[in-house]
Amino acid sequence: MDPARRSAWKQIPFHGCEMSSVTSYLGFDSPLYILSFDQRRSPLGVAVPEEMLTPEQMGAIESAKSQIALAKYIIYDGFRAAVTAGVPQSKAGVLVDERFGADILRDAVACGYHTAYPVEKVRHDEFDFEYGKDFSKHIEDFQPTFCHAQVRYSPRGDRNRRQSDRLKILSDYLHGTGRRRTFFMLELLVPAEKVQLARIDESRSTSESEIRPQLIIQAVHELQGAGVEPDVWQIAGINCRDDYKKLIVAVRCDGREKVGCIIGDGGHDEKSIREALITGASVPGIVGFAVGPSLFAEPLTQWGTRRTAHKTAATEIAQRYKALVTIFESRQLQDVV
């Protein structure tokens, strides 16, 4: 990485690091309920430039693009209906992509909702910027509350150095001086590696659900050590309240007291997400959640097959989203020991 970029912050070791230059502005610990619909899967279905396609193919593509954009409006209508029905506007937010949801992003900003803008390339195992070196121009254009990056990170993995270098560029940019405050939200996916799973099979005394939190915490420390400093960590795959406590200790270590953590769905079903919220919501430092297809996949399928109307699908999405908010807030009020 460019030495000039590295000198922007002090290098941060795992323990006992000086964080005074960072912690004065690092962190977001307010309640946050994100409805995530940033899916950007290309409707092309073919690995060729659009200009090489026939008019018939282009017509099908444009139709598919319109369908995707309309589906996102149904989700957004559900989100707005949930706010109208009682989800606190100051805590509500959407994670939506520029390609199919630019108008939604701008409307959400205008309406005072939290917005999260994704910067990562889709369908890539290694983190990189969707718009390359121009990523900052796109962030400035939309002025989101959060800049969201998703990274698949295996502790000691061979891609980690390249990924952490790119994430540090983003981290330094977002925490730079003299610009509007956009918070850094990092969605951390930590798959268990084959060798680790093999050890589980051999010992039969440790399950994947037990080893994954350890890997997540290790990844958190490695990224912190590389100078990657999210304001909010988005984490999925934890099933134990004590593990959530350990996670908060990790993300808030060495002066990072205001850093928050939200529970992600990790591709799980709605039942699993509800269980995760029940388990983690009462842990101080867990400030909310970010949930996606598990809430809207079924209503959109019904709409896509013409079994339900736009308004009906939006209403069901609103009810499901509001139900998760209710679960989270009710658990926060309970003094679970």
Q: What is the predicted pLDDT for the residue at 212?
A: 87
Nearest-CA neighbor of 328 among 283, 284, 291, 278? Answer: 278
What are 146's strand-pairing partners? 116, 183
Q: What is the predicted pLDDT for the residue at 336?
A: 45
Domains and CATH numbers, the chain: 3-7+28-331 (3.20.20.70)
Total Cβ atoms within 10 A of residue 281: 23
Q: Tens digits of per-residue pLDDT, 200-213?
A: 455 544 556 678 89
Q: Tens digits of per-residue pLDDT, 159-188?
A: 899 999 999 999 999 998 666 689 999 999
Q: Would the pLDDT of 283 be above 80?
A: yes
Mean pLDDT, rounded, for 275-281: 94
Lowest mean pLDDT among 15-29, 218-232, 284-298, 305-319: 15-29
Q: What is the predicted pLDDT for the residue at 141?
A: 95
Q: What is the predicted pLDDT for the residue at 185?
A: 98
Position of tokens 């970010």? 290
Q: Tens digits of per-residue pLDDT, 288-337?
A: 999 999 899 999 999 988 888 999 999 999 999 999 999 999 987 765 44
Give the three-state DSSP class for 118: strand
Mean pLDDT, rounded, for 69-76: 94
Nearest-CA neighbor of 284 among 6, 14, 31? Answer: 31
What are 93's strand-pairing partners? 34, 114
Q: What is the predicted pLDDT for the residue at 269?
A: 84
Write the single-letter amino acid at 30. Answer: S
Total Cβ atoms within 10 A of residue 242: 11
- Where b means 16+ CB within 10 Å and e means fewer, 119-146 reads bbeeeeebbebbeeeebbebbeebebbb
Q: Spell out the alpha helix ranges (H) of 7-54.
A: 20-23
Q: Would the pLDDT of 223 be above 70?
A: yes
Looking at per-residue confidence, does 270 or 193 come out higher? 270
Q: What is the predicted pLDDT for the residue at 187?
A: 97
Q: What is the predicted pLDDT for the residue at 53?
A: 55
Q: What is the mean pLDDT of the chain?
A: 84
Looking at per-residue confidence, does 147 or 198 come out higher? 147
- Residue 3 confidence class, pLDDT cut points 50, 70, 90: very low
